[in-house]
Chains A and B, each alone.
Chain A
Amino acid sequence: MRPVASGGIGAPVARVEDRRLVTGAGRFVADAALPGMLHAAFVRSPHAHARIIAVDTAAARAMPGVHAVLTGADLLDAGVRPLPHAAVLRRADGTPMRAPPRHALAAGWVRHAGEAVAIVVAASAQTAADAAEAVAVEWEPHDAVVEARAALADGAPRVNREAPDNLLGVFAHGDPGAVDAAFAAAAHVARVEVVNNRLVANALEPRAALADWQDGRLTLRVGCQMPHLARAQLADAVFGIAPERVRVLVEDIGGGFGAKSFLYPEYVAVAQAARHTGRPVRWVATRSESFLADSHGRDSVSEAALALDADGTFLAMRVATVANVGAYVSHLGAVIPTLAGTKPLAGPYRTPLIDLDVRVVQTHTAPVDAYRGAGRPEAAYLVERLVEAAALATGIPALDLRRRNFVPRAAMPFTSAMGEVYDSGDFARVTALALAAADWDGHAGRRAAARARGRLGGRGLAYFIESTGAANPVESVRLELGAETVTVYSGTQNMGQGLETAYAQLVVEALGVDLARVRIVQGDTDRVARGGGSGGSRSLFIGGAAIGDACARLVALARARGAAPAADAWFAFARAQGGTLSVEGKVKVDAFSWPNGCHVCEVEIDRDTGAVAVTRFTAVDDVGRVINPLIVHGQVAGAVAQGLGQALLEEAVYDRRSGQLLTGSFADYAMPRAGIVRALGVFLDESAPCTTNPLGAKGAGEGGSIGAPPAVAAAVLDALAECGVTHLDMPFTAPKVWRALQRART
């Protein structure tokens, strides 16, 4: 083993960002205040689907302390254009997808409960909230539809005039004829139909924005994972001004998880309110607003079948998915269930043929966009449920089926049936490590002990592989060597995942300087020239590789000047060179990286209440080369907890008739609490580093939310098998499990 440089790659150093955060000195948007600042509140639709007949703002405007009330019509008059989205799909007839325009404030129609209709700006947040109550909207309510399959039915309420059947677009892959032939020749066929439950990201920091529009220039402070994208979208798409006239400033972000990646209607409205009033305007979402108006995650139903030969070799897979994209297409809403989420659909298996059909459907619900994993959890859940079903259909244990069909390490690089190239991975090894770490064989004893206590024991395993890197392979950084410090300017974004520390470690590794001498600057489109932001686990292996490149260029520059400084000598070198040296580092990492892992879960179920307890959870993840094991362990643990949340607790539920969100607070939407996982073992296997980027790192941070749900599902169904329960959909809440037990009993 290579010795770990003090604070360099592989060192479990404590995070440099912690000090401000543990002392209350973090800077979140809601903590910022500007002189003369006004406060905003939104008037939101109480209906899931309605026409706006009239908005009467007179009473609100007349209230003392109210500075302005703006409606959708006001924004249109001011030339504010709708929010952009990636329009990547085609409809079944080959025409391009056309979503309804997503105005920052609804114009004419509202399409989901909680859609913003007007913004009120006042001297205090309380006055703004009071005045919002005084805005009178005359509505013409219409029927709503909230479930994707219901929305496809004849005569369903219409969301999108451009697509009367509510079918936004379709996405297909594979050769249906070849797949049909494989199924016809198969010895066994396994089938499943699974629901991937709708979730709310629920970063603990609610969204917020503080806009200041002075001298024709907008400064927007916002918790955004992709500041340069936000700038481009605000400038080009929404306000039609030059990008130099927009500055996006991001300080601390209280969790992002994908849902803070893109522009939101409220940010545009707040910016326009600042332009209109000439004063800084701040809005901080309440948690209730977050539930209604943040983009949601997941929400799809898939029917799938797997054809196997007599030995259990996978011959072909057929998948038909209906994905709910919500009332509007949020930035990547149409991409996630199609282009992005289906990349790893072959899983870690050699399955030679896949026939995929995805239908992306609009409903009267909040837009669905990225949430930790973003499409890849859906893929892994589906594939692993199918493998479990195949075990029942063939009588071959699921573990054996997996081993039989894994892509062997020797076959890397391997092109999957989805046409994706897996560069590295040793699935059999990682599985063996997981079985050992989880004491797989010891389960029988624990199960018997559970039984003696009147509880049902269950054990489940899942293997996942995910594509990371998003579709944005380029990252560049500026590195400044000064007389005292090294400063890196990066357009990726820290949001709690520890990038400030991991990036600094890369600089320590390359230059040998002290960790305390490294500064990482992010989140300011004025100080950082460009960047793709953070999402899809891209930052470390693309942004980090750019830092490596910058350091190499600095070393080359020094060499060209006849110097080979190391450690503190770098600063003496900078002083000798007259102060500050600046280099640009740039990389293009064309390939996705393929983190993967094996998760093993044990549960105990209380027969009388249906309550499921996760008694042991083991995650062995291959994230390639690890820069800071402390941080990566933390990422895995956090992601596992979110995966357990999806599997056991969480579900965003809309009322089918009224279209109202029934789970609109932490009292109704069950979040994981302390104790969600009691015995968690996290292990990192670095034996198969990524071959397609210079660091050898693979994306880390999403794996747990991908591996945990199918592992829990397998364990729960294993526990319930003896009672005759063969199928359940997440979340495996106590009432749902209890009902399944009662049904099975009768």
Chain B
Amino acid sequence: MTKISFTINGKQVSTDVEGRTLLVDLIRDELRLTGTHVGCDTSQCGCCTIELNGDMVKSCAMLAAQADGATITTIEGLAKGDVLHPVQQAFTECHGLQCGFCTPGMIMASVGILKANPNPSDDDIVKGLEGNLCRCTGYVNIIKSVKRAAELMKA
């Protein structure tokens, strides 16, 4: 067991973790932040994407112990009270989700894309979403949502 402390969605957390515990399992099972999903066991689906120290990372591909000292934002930490984050807002407006299982990861990845590039082209978005799978939407409305979010963020 290793003792770790980190900040998640603005809250300070200290806990003991087994060496082999994945960060995503800590977030879901212990902290009960179940908006971060697990869609695969080979780090390919991106359902588990979170923001860690400013970068978008797949939390299934990290050990919990590696998060010691980190600052983390998950999907639950994106909205400001009742006000959705522009990316969340855009996904809703553009029908960028169907079942919603990939959505937390897609939204986090999109936040990352827009952070790096406030005016992404379709190509930029497609590239930026390379690590995220969606089985429902065919991605067209997700790409639309990211563009719409870019507009909302400028306004």
Could you list which residues of chain A lie within 8 angstroms of chain B, going by C-beta atoms?
14-15, 17-26, 28, 30-31, 33, 125-126, 201-206, 252-257, 284, 286-288, 495-498, 630-631, 633-635, 637-642, 665-667, 671-678, 680, 704
Chain A residue numbers with a CB within 8 Å of B21 are 126
A677 touches B44 (CB 8 A): no
B103 touches A21 (CB 8 A): yes
Q: Please report the C-alpha to C-alpha distance between residue A31 and residue B47 in the assembled complex, in whole angstroms.
A: 14
B140 touches A253 (CB 8 A): no
Chain A residue numbers with a CB within 8 Å of B36 are 24
B101 touches A28 (CB 8 A): yes
B35 touches A496 (CB 8 A): no
A205 touches B98 (CB 8 A): no
Q: Please report the C-alpha to C-alpha distance between residue A642 and residue B33 in the assembled complex, in whole angstroms.
A: 31
Q: Please report the C-alpha to C-alpha distance between residue A2 and residue B65 in the assembled complex, in whole angstroms.
A: 61
Q: Please report the C-alpha to C-alpha distance between residue A14 and residue B135 in the assembled complex, in whole angstroms.
A: 20
Chain B residue numbers with a CB within 8 Å of A17 are 100
Cβ contact of B101, chosen from A204, A284, A674, cutoff 8 A: A204
Q: Please report the C-alpha to C-alpha distance between residue A296 and residue B125 in the assembled complex, in whole angstroms.
A: 31
CB distance from A503 to the nearest CB of B (A): 16
Q: Please report the C-alpha to C-alpha distance between residue A567 and residue B99 in the assembled complex, in whole angstroms.
A: 30
Chain B minimum-CB-distance residue to A288:
B41
Cβ contact of A23, chosen from B20, B41, B78, B98, cutoff 8 A: B78
A30 touches B38 (CB 8 A): yes
Given contacts A255-B99, A498-B98, A677-B139, 11 further A-B contacts (CB under 8 A): A14-B93, A20-B100, A24-B75, A31-B28, A204-B99, A255-B101, A634-B95, A635-B98, A641-B139, A665-B44, A666-B45
B40 touches A287 (CB 8 A): yes
B42 touches A637 (CB 8 A): no
Q: Please report the C-alpha to C-alpha distance between residue A33 and residue B33 in the assembled complex, in whole angstroms.
A: 12
| B97 within 8 A of partner (CB) | yes
| B102 within 8 A of partner (CB) | yes
CB distance from B35 to the nearest CB of A (A): 2
A630 touches B95 (CB 8 A): yes
B133 touches A22 (CB 8 A): no
Given A15-B95, A23-B84, A30-B38, A205 and B130 touching (CB < 8 A)? no
B75 touches A665 (CB 8 A): no
| B138 within 8 A of partner (CB) | yes
Q: Please report the C-alpha to C-alpha distance between residue A72 and residue B99 in the assembled complex, in whole angstroms.
A: 34
Q: Please report the C-alpha to C-alpha distance between residue A202 and residue B135 in the assembled complex, in whole angstroms.
A: 7
CB distance from B104 to the nearest CB of A (A): 5
Given A22-B88, A23-B88, A14 and B101 touching (CB < 8 A)? no
Q: Please report the C-alpha to C-alpha distance between residue A33 and residue B41 in the assembled complex, in whole angstroms.
A: 21
Chain B minimum-CB-distance residue to A675:
B126
Q: Please report the C-alpha to C-alpha distance between residue A17 and residue B104 in the assembled complex, in whole angstroms.
A: 14
B99 touches A637 (CB 8 A): no
Q: Please report the C-alpha to C-alpha distance between residue A671 and residue B104 in the assembled complex, in whole angstroms.
A: 19
Given A204-B47, A634-B95, A641 and B137 touching (CB < 8 A)? yes
B95 touches A631 (CB 8 A): yes
Q: Please report the C-alpha to C-alpha distance between residue A496 and residue B47 in the assembled complex, in whole angstroms.
A: 16
CB distance from B131 to the nearest CB of A (A): 9
A255 touches B40 (CB 8 A): no
Chain B minimum-CB-distance residue to A23:
B79
Q: Please report the C-alpha to C-alpha distance between residue A498 and residue B99 in the assembled complex, in whole angstroms.
A: 8
Given A203-B101, A255-B99, A671 and B139 touching (CB < 8 A)? no
Interface 1/0 per residue, B93-113 and A, CB below 8 Å? 101011111111001000000
| B71 within 8 A of partner (CB) | no
A673 touches B130 (CB 8 A): yes
A26 touches B20 (CB 8 A): no
B107 touches A673 (CB 8 A): no
| B141 within 8 A of partner (CB) | yes
Chain B residue numbers with a CB within 8 Å of A633 are 95
Cβ contact of B98, chosen from A19, A634, A676, A677, cutoff 8 A: A634
Q: Please report the C-alpha to C-alpha distance between residue A28 and residue B104 in the assembled complex, in whole angstroms.
A: 13
CB distance from B9 to the nearest CB of A (A): 10
CB distance from A297 to the nearest CB of B (A): 13
Given A203-B135, A205-B39, A674 and B97 touching (CB < 8 A)? no
Q: Please report the C-alpha to C-alpha distance between residue A15 and residue B137 in the assembled complex, in whole angstroms.
A: 14
Chain B residue numbers with a CB within 8 Å of A674 are 125-126, 129-130, 132, 134, 139, 142-143
Given A634-B141, A674-B143, A24 and B39 touching (CB < 8 A)? no
Q: Please report the C-alpha to C-alpha distance between residue A30 and residue B37 in the assembled complex, in whole angstroms.
A: 9
Chain B residue numbers with a CB within 8 Å of A20 are 100
Given A30-B34, A673-B139, A204 and B98 touching (CB < 8 A)? no
A204 touches B45 (CB 8 A): yes
B126 touches A638 (CB 8 A): no
Interface centre among A125, A255, A497 (most CB of B within 10 A): A255
B137 touches A665 (CB 8 A): no
CB distance from B101 to the nearest CB of A (A): 3
B133 touches A126 (CB 8 A): no
Cβ contact of A252, chosen from B88, B100, B134, cutoff 8 A: B100
Chain A minimum-CB-distance residue to B91:
A22
| B122 within 8 A of partner (CB) | yes
Chain B residue numbers with a CB within 8 Å of A288 are 41
Chain A residue numbers with a CB within 8 Å of B76 are 23-25
Chain A residue numbers with a CB within 8 Å of B122 are 678
